[in-house]
Amino acid sequence: MPGNPLLGVFFHWLGGFASASFYVPYRGIRKWSWEIFWITGGIFSWLLAPWFFASIQTNDLMGVMAQVPGRTVGLCVLFGMLWGFGGLTYGLTMRYLGLSLGMAVVLGLCTVFGTIIPPIFQGDFASKLLDTPSGLYILLGLGITLAGIIVVALAGASKDSALSPEQKAAAIAEFDFKKGVAVAIFSGVMSSCFAFGLASGEPIKALSAAAGTGPLWTGLPTLCLVMFGGLITNAVWCTWLIVKNRSAGEFIGRAGPAADADGTPPPLLRNYLLAALGGTLWYFQFFFYTMGESQMGKFGFSSWTLHMASIIIFGTLWGFGFKEWKDAAPRVRAMVWFGIFLLVFATVVIGYGNMLGTKA
């Protein structure tokens, strides 16, 4: 069944919006330590939401899972665990760099590794990209994406050099450019492993399709395994932090390390609801990603570029909404908007390349 690349681009934009928005509810959490709200939201992201939506949108989920070869399960979980390191440090990047700059650096590296390596690993890089007009358009779109990412990152560096420490702290409480960039580089490299996990789950998609699942939803069972791997990594790290910081009492409303000086307890219901919302939004990026990928035909690997570009677009817009660029010079703000334009244009070019591929 041929896909619809334009519909695929739309789904990727929905996923990008969900990903760029997931940290917004976390900003409203009060008197919870980072490790508490991160693992609470993560339980919704990596465990509850994947299995819930896969169970209602696919046929015979448990029967399909029972047929998955052990090697496929192992690879999906392994790449999920590696991706978990990226997701873990992704949250730290938002703390140190803010939404817009942090996303640009992390996702720029994700774009390169996640788009190029799967076809190289599968041995069809030349046949898919270099030997066809559609493939060349996709490469052009990837180049434009990288240019947009570089422009946004340069704008962030310019803003950093021009602002006083007080201005940086007013926009982003824990701003630290050097520490943030180091964490972002690590996060970007490790986060690209998610694309490898999805590629490893291709046999699961075939099994789900054979069970009668529609093409939009066949990727959902793979998410259950890859995201479970991410849960393992994040749970280990957060458990260590909870023990180290003695913050476990915050789960049940006790005042902990994140409490105010007066020792008042955290607003428990509010925090759980915001963590659940943020965690579910984090999952929805991949929910829509698998839907978008199903429409991209033989160039499904280019979905990663579209996904990353759309996250940066919406993440930068959120950054403006939270006034992270308020004190930046007009020239710097213009650079950011030019970077966003390049990223939007790149999604159009990649979508056109995919459309050519479906007609070939």
170-212 residue pLDDT tens: 555 566 667 777 787 787 778 778 878 988 999 999 999 999 9
Q: What pLDDT shows up at residue 102?
A: 66
Q: At what angle do helices 99-122 and 177-191 cross, to 10 degrees?
A: 30
Q: What pLDDT shows up at residue 1?
A: 46
Contact assessment for residue 225 and residue 76, using Cβ atoms and an 8 Å cutoff: yes
Tell me which residues of the chain have a pLDDT lower than 70: 1-3, 91, 94-95, 98-131, 160-177, 261, 297-302, 304, 351, 354-355, 357-360
Q: What pLDDT shows up at residue 165?
A: 62
Please give the distance of CA 132 from its chain centroid, rounded to a whole number: 29
Residue 103 backbone dihedrals phi, psi, to 5 degrees:
-65, -40
126-139: pLDDT as tens digits: 556 666 777 788 78
